[in-house]
Amino acid sequence: MSAGPVFVLGGAQTDFARNWKREGRGLADLVAETARSALEATDVDADEIEVGHIGNFASEIYCGQGHLGGLLVETDPAFVGLPTARHEAACASGSVAVLAAMSDLESGRYDVALVLGVEMMRNVPTEESVRNLGAAAWVPRETEDVPYVWPSIFSSLGDEYERRYGLDDSYLDAIARSNFANARRNPNAQTRTWTLDDASFAADDTANPVVAGRLRKQHCSQVTDGGAAVVLATMPFAARWAERAGRRYDELAVIRGWGHRTDRMALDDKLADAKSDPYVFPQVRGAALDAFDRAGLVDVHGLDAVEVHDCFATTHYMAIDHLGITPPGESWRAIEDGTVLFGGSLPINPSGGLMGLGHPVGASGARMLLDATKQVTGTAGDYQVEGARTVGTLNIGGSATTTVSFVVGRAADTT
């Protein structure tokens, strides 16, 4: 029997500008700080946590470390004996960890879960990190003799839009400009202090060199160390927690809906399967629609903001029409009229997104959920979207092989 909706009591993220190796710290330190910060932020004691879930993509490759549930237990003496699990779904690892924790709570097994997403990626040279990330593609089919696997793959996504609908790269530049501008408002953003000018968002081979295909430097997300964590709870615990915290129960954040789909592994196979579909990635579209349906929303316009997976400007562009903000192939309209910009009617990535805020791969899904929670509870600070009550996320792993979408709202709006 379901224990009712799953509440997000809050959480924490690390400063994504930090380089943990330079600080002389490792993955165990990252796990511990992320977990402890989330407990402190929510005023939940370690002995109140009943289950732990960790999202991580490639700690074995980057750090030679597996079995991350054990590292979570090392965080606090009260965690000894805590049931834990680690989840991997490339860049959607954090969201899949959230889904697993939700299942635990909805089934009635547990009342309180701690969910972390962590990734340490700056402890190796950039070239090695790029090779490591290729493990989320189809090896060796998509990776052999390809120096920049993901920029190449997602440049091909832009090429597919060009073939089907036409694509003016100036809109990719506008997406990049928006995300980096939003990141300047976020005190945890990796790029918040970067100095960028007009040349940084133009076809300038010095300030904004080509990385692969049609994608330039500022079209790409960051290589990032970082963690994000949320505390999830059932209705009974959330009600007690709100009372002791002096919070209004009806203003607490709750996961209203979710979608989760997995497509074929290789980009070419996805594109071939979808050649007659108006959407380039039908399963991404399906995951978003599943989340809206479970949340009781008619469409995307029931949201006040959305955090999307802008690992590259082309995925951000894809997210606009796949969410239904525009018809297929017309994402440019929502950029041109300002709909998806900060201050628009449906801003995308007020946090700065993966481009501006940073992209520690296993943490991004949990971070998106945390930022959605901040928005609906009015605690996002300088990047708060005024009046936000319902916020969505769209997190993808690989070339949209795994897609997870959440809708977060307030308890008062949940039926």
- Give dist(CA 103, CA 138) in Å, integer: 29
Tens of pLDDT along 176-233? Answer: 999 999 999 999 999 999 999 999 999 999 999 999 999 999 999 999 999 999 999 9
Q: Is position 131 within any domain?
A: no
Q: Is position 108 within any domain?
A: yes
Tens of pLDDT along 107-151? Answer: 999 999 999 999 999 999 988 999 999 999 999 999 999 999 999
Q: Give the pLDDT of residue 240.
A: 96
- Percent of the residues in the chain that have a pLDDT greater than 70, as a whole number: 99
Q: For position 49, which CATH number holds?
A: 3.40.47.10
Q: Could you give the 3-state DSSP secondary structure of residue 48?
A: helix
Residues in the chain: 415
Tens of pLDDT along 329-366? Answer: 999 999 999 999 999 999 999 999 999 999 999 999 99
Q: Is position 163 within any domain?
A: no
Residue 1 pLDDT grade (very low, low, confident, very high; cuts 50, 70, 90): very low
Q: Is position 101 within any domain?
A: yes
Q: What is the DSSP string of 257-297?
A: EEEEEE--SSHHHHHHHTTTSSSS-HHHHHHHHHHHHHHT-
- Give dist(CA 98, CA 89) in Å, integer: 12
Q: How far is CA 318 from CA 74, 337, 353, in A?
A: 41, 17, 15
Strands (E), 315-378: none
Write out the H or E segment, with its range, that includes residue 240: helix 235-245
- Give dist(CA 138, CA 315) in Å, integer: 19
- Percent of the residues in the chain that have a pLDDT greater than 90, as a whole number: 97
Tens of pLDDT along 217-269? Answer: 999 999 999 999 999 999 999 999 999 999 999 999 999 999 999 999 999 99
Number of domains in the chain: 1
Residue 208 sits at the vertex; the CA angle it makes with 193 and 361, to the nearest 5 degrees, is 60
Q: What is the mean pLDDT of residues 262-282?
A: 98
Q: Is position 412 within any domain?
A: no
Write out the H or E segment, with its range, that includes residue 304: none
State the residue range of the domain holding 61.
6-124+223-245
Q: Give the pLDDT of residue 399.
A: 98
Half-sphere exposure of 99 (CA within 13 A, CB side): 21
Position 2 pLDDT exceeds 60: no
- Give dist(CA 340, CA 116) in Å, integer: 29
Q: How far is CA 230 from CA 40, 127, 371, in A?
A: 11, 32, 10
Asked if 90 and 309 touch (Cβ cutoff 8 Å), the reply is no
Q: Give the pLDDT of residue 129.
A: 94
Q: Is position 49 within any domain?
A: yes
Q: Could you give the 3-state DSSP secondary structure of residue 87?
A: strand
Q: Is position 293 within any domain?
A: no
Query: Which residues partner with 13 through β-bridges?
Result: 228
Task: Fill in the DSSP letter of residue 365.
Answer: H
Q: Is position 13 within any domain?
A: yes
Tens of pLDDT along 85-108? Answer: 999 999 999 999 999 999 999 999
Half-sphere exposure of 340 (CA within 13 A, CB side): 32
Q: End-to-end alpha-carbon separation of the chain, Å?
A: 17
Q: Give the pLDDT of residue 11.
A: 98
Query: Which residues partner with 8 through β-bridges?
Result: 232, 253
